[in-house]
Amino acid sequence: MEDNHQSRRKFIANAGKATLAVGLSQTILPAMASRFAAVNHTTAIPYSQQPLPYGYKDLEVAIDAMTMEIHYTKHAATYAKNMAEACAAEKVDTGAVKLEELLGKISKYSGKLRNNAGGHYNHELFWQSMTPKGTEKPSGKLLEDIEKTFGSFDAFKTKFTDAGKSRFGSGWAWLIVDKDHKLVVGSTPNQDNPLMDISELKGTPLLGLDVWEHAYYLRYHNLRPDYITNWWKVVNWEVVQKRYEGA
């Protein structure tokens, strides 16, 4: 079982490298790319929308297939497209400046770039942070530090859930590592995020939750707290742990 898992991971990693190397992701390998997307969770998020690492219906325990499809193909795709337009118009050299660096000096750019680069980054992080094989909690150093910082894992969950519930209007709830390498829970409005120089909450995102109505309205209607409660079932703690190790 473990061997299968290992070799599948290796295959996924290699398939991803090959796909990137020859640029086939948009041409002859779309099905493969969407099923075996290679995601290096500790490196930068690219400027283009990446294939989902699961199918639209695979997170049904928390998010319905139609919401996933519309969210990914319409909302998130539009952020990526508008970000590209704004980068071109504002002469951002996307080959030289990482998306994370751009967000760090976003106050120098337009509102269009702020909203759409934020939207793109946030959604890419969000898709990676979920899995059909969600585990109840992380392990190792991350779990230890969460317990140390917030008192217990349940206390952390409550704090994060409250951050999402109480974010007025649209926005995101976050678990981040701040500049002193402390774990912090908070939220940001609209498509802002903790990498932005204009953000009150500042640090490296480990886990982000989209609390815009488009993320849950079809199934949960006005019941944002129910959406958050179910969302915990699909959190990819393995990915969050890797981000923590790399932060």
Q: Characterize the bridge pairing of strands 171-177 and 204-210.
A: antiparallel
Contact segment (CB under 5 A) with Mn ion among 133-141, 165-173, 211-219, 225-233 equals 211-219
8 A C-beta contact, residue 19 and residue 38: yes
Q: At closest approach, how far in Å is the CB of 21 from Mn ion?
A: 31
Q: Please answer whether residues 144 and 183 qualify as being in contact, where contact means their C-beta atoms are separated by less than 8 angstroms.
A: no
Q: How far is the CB of 164 from Mn ion (least distance, A)?
A: 13
- Contacts of Mn ion in 215-244 (CB under 5 A): 215
Q: What share of the chain is helix, strand, coil (3-state, %, to 5)?
A: 55, 10, 35
Backbone angles phi, psi at 176, to 5 degrees: -130, 165
Smallest distance, Å, CB 20 to Mn ion?
26
Rounded distance, CA 210 to CA 122, Å?
8
Contact 239, 41 (CB under 8 A): yes
Stretch that binds Mn ion, among 16-24, 42-50, 80-88, 208-216 (CB under 5 A): 208-216
Residue 213 beta carbon to Mn ion: minimum distance, rounded to whole angstroms: 9
- Candidates 61-69, 77-85, 93-101, 202-210; binding stretch for Mn ion (CB under 5 A): 202-210
Q: If binding is defined by CB under 5 A, does position 210 make contact with Mn ion?
A: yes
Residues that bind Mn ion (CB under 5 A): 210, 212, 215
